Structure 1
Amino acid sequence: MNHDRPQLRASAWVASIAAAVAALGLAGCVNYAGIKSDKQIEPPAKFETKQSLPAEGGQWPAMDWAKQFGDPQLPALIDEALQGNPTIEQARARIEKATSYVGSANSTLYPNVTGSYAWTRQLYTGNGIVPPPYNGTWQSENNVLASASFDLDLWGKNREKLRQAVSQEKVADAEAEEVRISVAASVASAYNHLAQLYALRDIELREVKNREDIGRITDGRVGAGLDTNVERQTAYGETATSRSSVSDLDGQITTVRYQLAALLGEGPDRGLRIANPSLGDGASVALPDNLPADLLSRRPDIVAAYWQVDSAIHDVKEAKAEFYPDVNLSLAAGLDAFGWGRLLTAGSRQLQAGPAIHLPIFDAGALRSQLKGRYADFDYDVATYNQTLINALSDVATQVTQIHSTDRQLIDAQQALDAQTNAYQLALVRYKAGLNQQLQVLNADDNRLAAETAVVNLEMNRRGMQIGLIKAMGGGFDASHAGLAANTETPIPARSNTTTTQ
């Protein structure tokens, strides 16, 4: 019988804990009845896109999409920006912080073990409660203690906290990808703007030459008595105005170089070393098949919004677990003795063990308010996801529409340029022959200049729209390759009964 007593005592101890948990669970009056949400993330099929985003058999952007423009300096600048841009470093820091939260949350699933040692030297009073032979003497006390505690996590509160931290880590990862894509697109857009300014500067340099040619013709006509000093001064003024336009473009070019340097994470002098752009047209614009559904895993902002919703779900579950009893087991063992001689003897042993049970019975509505707040966060995150999806579909459709519109405009603009160039050349010939007035030549030249400028702006803006479309389609990001896809049959599925079943 003596041999069975420890087992009987252990069994009785476990039974007592179970009975206490059951009793407290039944006695608890704090509950979350009536607090719920019926919000859910919307599938892309809900939104009509067949006319705006037709299947064209195109490809999704690759990670090295900048190479398609045929200028090796552009991908090199993008790589430099991704290495040195402070915004990238901020995103990496947010990932590290999120990872630390995962580690902290994971630690709560395991026992917490600590050790301590204390040594004290004390003179005990001779007129107190300390018995002889210690009263009135100096004594040294040694205390060695190892303690362990373990939260049983019966209702999954700690597990939900870990899942929430993991989801937040994925949010940070997806947001970092969004930052990467934005930086790359910003570099490409600024570089394309630099190319546009250089193209406009070349036009203005040619225009200076045209104005100088008109001025020389005017000088000859003045000498022949066909024109007056009014036409001569007008020609000089038009030439000076063209030179002023070149100077203005020089200033704009330098400013864009500074902007590029800032995107690279460098000082303004770095921008001055960038060579003149030599960009090509890039690949043809064709939308991939099944774009609306696949866009969910190609846009990092949608992926981040999804994992934010997932995080909110675990937040809700954690808040619900707060309504149930917490059971924590603790154990401590060690040695305590006066002096060193008896510290390692059996009589110096000390042992403590026992459970701690906590159940909210009355909290004046604190837990219910907390849960309502978590549901409000969930509703907000769902609405954010849905809005992000809507914005993404609109973004792609807008970029495609603008590109197609620009293509049509370019046809007409090129025809206009050809006609205005012919008109200017005819007017110049007639002016030399004394058949036209100077004003007709200048007007024809202004019309030709405006037409040439329009063609260049349309061409450069179209390439800028291509860059915008690449960004709108995810810039080469793929959630499945980045380890950020949801573990279900679709990359980012809609949850039909997310909160009502929790």
Structure 2
Amino acid sequence: MSNIKATIVTGAGRGFALTVLALSLAACQSMKPAVPEAQPSIPTEYTALAQDGSPSIASQGYQEYFSDPRLEQVIALALDNNRDLRTAALNIEKTQYQYQIARNDQLPTVGATGSVVRQDTLSVTKPYTTYSVGLGVTSYELDFWGRVASLKDAALETYFATQAARDATQVSLVGQVAQAWVAISFAEQNLKLAQQTLKAQQDSYSLNKRRFDVGLDSEIPLRQSQISVETARGDVASYKTEIEQQKNALNLLVGQTVPANLLPDTAIVRITDNRALSAGLPSELLNNRPDIRSAEYQLRAAGANIGAAKARLFPTISLTGSAGYASTDMSDLFKSGSFIWSLGPSIDLPIFDWGTRRNNIKISEVDQKIALSDYEGTIQTAFREVNDVLATRANIDDRIAAQRRLVEATNKTYQLSQARYRAGLDNYLTVLDAQRTAYSAEQGLLALRQANLNSQIELYKTLGGGLTTTQAENAQVESQTTSNSTSSNN
């Protein structure tokens, strides 16, 4: 390794130093490669539903999209108290400080120095002491090749990526809170259905017991009805447990215990007042999904790291300087004639590094390819998620209508089988079969209604909804940060 240091003390030396300073301000070159073009093979339109040209529901804030004010308040509590979202916000703060450090590396570091040195040399007859104080610039790198600037750009893109990751956490949180809130309502509805079934089974058990007591039936129908009673009783206990578990899940998402007056106390019929749930144009998804933006910023950061790695192929030129006072007598330290200064560059150029620098470039280029693949994969995943939800939405109404007709048919069958059993035309096994079928159909209808509401929430989430205000704030922060970055380079 070659390490050349010089102290400039002559007029020619001062001219050289000024030339170096001018070059450092005017000749910085960035070696960042162009951002590679992603080829995710995205569709030109969504597969499941034809779009009517309406704006995407992602443009609506959650207060505008969701119709129940209680749910809106629960979401607001979650945005204030959720620990994952809080961690994501702290990560933004952390990367902001890291970016500030990277920016500061473009500026010289000035520090105060002071020393007392006792020494002995051949030119003097006895040891002497030297006192000195001053200000100094320590190893200020003249960024001819843009290494420091590239590292600053990488830190900036990482900051933006972390900011977008926080937005993605918020989108996910809003959807999870809404689905957990809905789940409590449907657990309550399933509990009511199980309780109704239990009462019906207890009535059947009482009827069978009377028939058995008077000798009309054998003990088999009595025990069959008892089995149904205990099964229904077990379902009631299970749904009571599920309700508490769903409340615990919601409390965890919100970050505190949700007040009872904000929990759903009736069956939820709709989650939004929107009549048409438009997904907008596929091209809008790239702007609306924060996870896609985060992946794009990571790709840009990888390109900046390539520029920093390439700059290491060239000499690192640093400037050091100091100005102050020195004297062999403490009382003469600040007197006329004791002022001293020094200024000089140092060049650091590895000659033989056995390919380390070039391998670092290859590593950074591979990192960029990985980031590009992740970016393309994130886009593909986003479109798959939207298309999956749209596929559900395309058929959910038909499924609910069919299930409703199935419930009507099974309930009618159950009523007929009970009448035939009481008339002595059928055995009790027919009643049990009809009852189980009717109960299962009722449960299936509740599950489809919950799936319908969940699909509305999921569509809003997969489109990147709920960030209207946040995106505006982030755009202002990004513009200000970029402006500051540009001014610092100038």
TM range (shorter): 0.7 to 0.9
* SS of equivalent to 1:61: helix
Whether contact under 8 Å (1:85, 1:263) holds in the other structure is yes
> Does structure 1 residue 204 correspond to structure 2 residue 194?
yes
Whether contact under 8 Å (1:257, 1:271) holds in the other structure is no
> Does structure 1 residue 166 correspond to structure 2 residue 172?
no
Alignment of 1:299-448 (within 5 A): 299-448=289-438
Q: How far does the alpha carbon of each residue in 1:368-399 deviate from its partner, in whole angstroms, 9 at most, with x for none? A: 10110110000000010001101100100001
Gaps of 5+ in 2: 1-8, 24-30, 480-490
Could you tell me which residue of structure 2 aligns to residue 231 of structure 1?
A: 221
Relative to its length, the structure with more helix (as a share) is 2
- Segment of structure 1 superposing worse, 222-231 or 450-459: 222-231
Whether contact under 8 Å (1:141, 1:336) holds in the other structure is yes
Could you tell me which residue of structure 1 aligns to residue 236 of structure 2?
A: 246
Whether contact under 8 Å (1:170, 1:484) holds in the other structure is no
> Does structure 1 residue 144 correspond to structure 2 residue 136?
no
Structure 2: which amino acid aligns with 1:275? L
- Whole-angstrom distance in 2 between the partners of 1:225 and 1:61: 68
Gaps of 5+ in 1: 20-31, 489-502
Q: Report how far residue 36 of structure 1 moved.
A: 8.5
Whether contact under 8 Å (2:57, 2:65) holds in the other structure is no
- Segment of structure 1 superposing worse, 364-373 or 232-241: 232-241
Q: How far does the alpha carbon of each residue in 1:202-235 deviate from its partner, in whole angstroms, 9 at most, with x for none? A: 1111111211232343345446643333323332
- Whole-angstrom distance in 2 between the partners of 1:425 and 1:69: 40
* SS of equivalent to 1:481: helix
CA 1:18 to 1:146, structure 2 compared with 1: closer, same or farther past 3 Å? closer
Q: Report how far residue 48 of structure 1 moved.
A: 4.7
Could you tell me which residue of structure 1 aligns to residue 463 of structure 2?
A: 473
Structure 2: which amino acid aligns with 1:103? Q
- Whole-angstrom distance in 2 between the partners of 1:414 and 1:161: 62
Which of residues 37, 41, 50 in structure 2 aligns to 1:54? 50
- Whole-angstrom distance in 1 between the partners of 2:269 and 2:133: 76
Percent of aligned pairs sharing the same letter: 22
- Whole-angstrom distance in 2 between the partners of 1:376 and 1:431: 75
Could you tell me which residue of structure 2 aligns to residue 77 of structure 1?
A: 74
Structure 2: which amino acid aligns with 1:85? N
* SS of equivalent to 2:467: coil
- Segment of structure 1 superposing worse, 462-471 or 393-402: 462-471
Structure 1: which amino acid aligns with 2:112? G
Structure 2: which amino acid aligns with 1:145? G
Structure 2: which amino acid aligns with 1:211? Q
CA 1:68 to 1:38, structure 2 compared with 1: closer, same or farther past 3 Å? closer
> Does structure 1 residue 258 correspond to structure 2 residue 254?
no
Could you tell me which residue of structure 2 aligns to residue 94 of structure 1?
A: 91
CA 1:38 to 1:460, structure 2 compared with 1: closer, same or farther past 3 Å? closer
Whether contact under 8 Å (1:257, 1:272) holds in the other structure is no
Whether contact under 8 Å (2:71, 2:262) holds in the other structure is no
Whether contact under 8 Å (1:196, 1:460) holds in the other structure is yes
- What TM-score do the two structures reach when normalised by structure 1? 0.81
Whether contact under 8 Å (2:288, 2:463) holds in the other structure is yes
Q: How far does the alpha carbon of each residue in 1:324-375 deviate from its partner, in whole angstroms, 9 at most, with x for none? A: 2333222211111234421111221221111222334432211110110110
CA 1:166 to 1:17, structure 2 compared with 1: closer, same or farther past 3 Å? closer
- Whole-angstrom distance in 2 between the partners of 1:423 and 1:142: 106
CA 1:53 to 1:151, structure 2 compared with 1: closer, same or farther past 3 Å? farther
Whether contact under 8 Å (1:257, 1:274) holds in the other structure is no
CA 1:458 to 1:58, structure 2 compared with 1: closer, same or farther past 3 Å? farther
Alignment of 1:128-139 (within 5 A): 129=122, 131=124, 135=126
Paired residues, what number? 458
- Whole-angstrom distance in 1 between the partners of 2:19 and 2:168: 54
CA 1:475 to 1:288, structure 2 compared with 1: closer, same or farther past 3 Å? closer
- Whole-angstrom distance in 2 between the partners of 1:481 and 1:400: 28
* SS of equivalent to 1:323: coil
- Whole-angstrom distance in 1 between the partners of 2:174 and 2:20: 63
Whether contact under 8 Å (2:221, 2:428) holds in the other structure is yes
Structure 2: which amino acid aligns with 1:107? N
Q: How far does the alpha carbon of each residue in 1:3-43 deviate from its partner, in whole angstroms, 9 at most, with x for none? A: xx986664466569999xxxxxxxxxxxx9xx989953136
Could you tell me which residue of structure 1 aligns to residue 108 of structure 2?
A: 111
> Does structure 1 residue 461 correspond to structure 2 residue 457?
no
Whether contact under 8 Å (1:36, 1:375) holds in the other structure is no
- Whole-angstrom distance in 1 between the partners of 2:263 and 2:399: 30
- Whole-angstrom distance in 2 between the partners of 1:296 and 1:222: 70
Alignment of 1:22-37 (within 5 A): none
Q: How far does the alpha carbon of each residue in 1:27-85 deviate from its partner, in whole angstroms, 9 at most, with x for none? A: xxxxx9xx9899531366x5353534532325323564366554333222222222222
Q: CA RMSD in A?
A: 3.4
Whether contact under 8 Å (1:37, 1:375) holds in the other structure is no
Q: Report how far residue 466 of structure 1 moved.
A: 1.9
- What TM-score do the two structures reach when normalised by structure 2? 0.83
Q: Report how far residue 410 of structure 1 moved.
A: 0.8
CA 1:61 to 1:280, structure 2 compared with 1: closer, same or farther past 3 Å? farther
* SS of equivalent to 1:362: coil
CA 1:387 to 1:288, structure 2 compared with 1: closer, same or farther past 3 Å? same
Alignment of 1:481-500 (within 5 A): 481-483=472-474
- Segment of structure 1 superposing worse, 423-432 or 81-90: 423-432
> Does structure 1 residue 286 correspond to structure 2 residue 258?
no
Whether contact under 8 Å (2:17, 2:343) holds in the other structure is no
CA 1:486 to 1:82, structure 2 compared with 1: closer, same or farther past 3 Å? closer
